[in-house]
Amino acid sequence: MKTLIYREIWESGITYTSFRTMIDELVAEGKTTGTDQSPSMIDYTALNAQRMKRIDKTYTPNQSILSEMKKRQNDLLLLTITESWCGDAAQITPVVSALAEAAHIPLRFVLRDENLELIDQHLTNGGRSIPIILLLDSKSYQVIGSWGPRPSEVQHMVMEYKKLPEPKPAYSEFSKQVQLWYARDKYQSIEREFSELVINAVTAE
């Protein structure tokens, strides 16, 4: 198995601001990230741009969580593997970005389909699910933790959906239930699960 050089991957990443700008430009051009430029994927990207814009404007990080996360600002780097069409990523990445920025923890983004060797080192039940957020030691650039591709309760919903016998409801219909869950949860699960990972990460001495 090839040994990945995470420092090079980190340095190839872009900031959240650049990521959001890229998505807005793709929407204006009627495109999406990745190799699948089908109408449905392009539509997902346009919808996600709206979702991310709304969350960017409305989400405020929990201050008590931030006070703990700030203690890790010199220890960690955050590397997110994602794509513009991913519905879970549209809910998660704005929250993670706001937390990281307020806690002064560096965060960068890389695209899954341009980094298949990377995602294949971080599969979820054998699949290339995203987003995946990697915690890197800020000195060694080694992976010391990961979170994703979605909060544990949503992951359970996905696994239960996959167990349903055929014919089962279309995934597009199931996705609506997932988006409703995110709306009801108000980012609390993302905030709690992600911050716990950051706060409790063990770095090299």
Superfamily of domain 6-149+187-200: Glutaredoxin (3.40.30.10)
Contact status, residue 158 vs residue 49, Cβ threshold 8 Å: no
Enumerate the domain spans of the chain: 6-149+187-200
**pLDDT of the residue at 124:** 96
Residue 186 DSSP SS3: coil
pTM: 0.95
Question: Would you place residue 1 in the very low, low, confident or very high pLDDT band (cuts 50, 70, 90)?
Answer: very low
What is the pairing mode between strands 107-111 and 132-137?
unpaired
For the segment 104-113, the average pLDDT, to the nearest whole number, is: 98
**pLDDT of the residue at 205:** 59
**pLDDT of the residue at 172:** 87
Per-residue CA distances from 127 to 29, 39, 111, 130 (Å): 30, 23, 16, 9
For the segment 167-175, the average pLDDT, to the nearest whole number, is: 90
* 8/183 Cα distance (integer angstroms): 36
**Would you say residue 3 has pLDDT above 80?**
no
174 alpha-carbon distance from chain centroid: 20
**pLDDT of the residue at 203:** 86
Per-residue CA distances from 151 to 27, 165, 186 (Å): 27, 24, 12
Q: At what angle do helices 171-185 and 188-200 cross, to 10 degrees?
A: 70
Question: Would you place residue 66 in the very low, low, confident or very high pLDDT band (cuts 50, 70, 90)?
Answer: very high
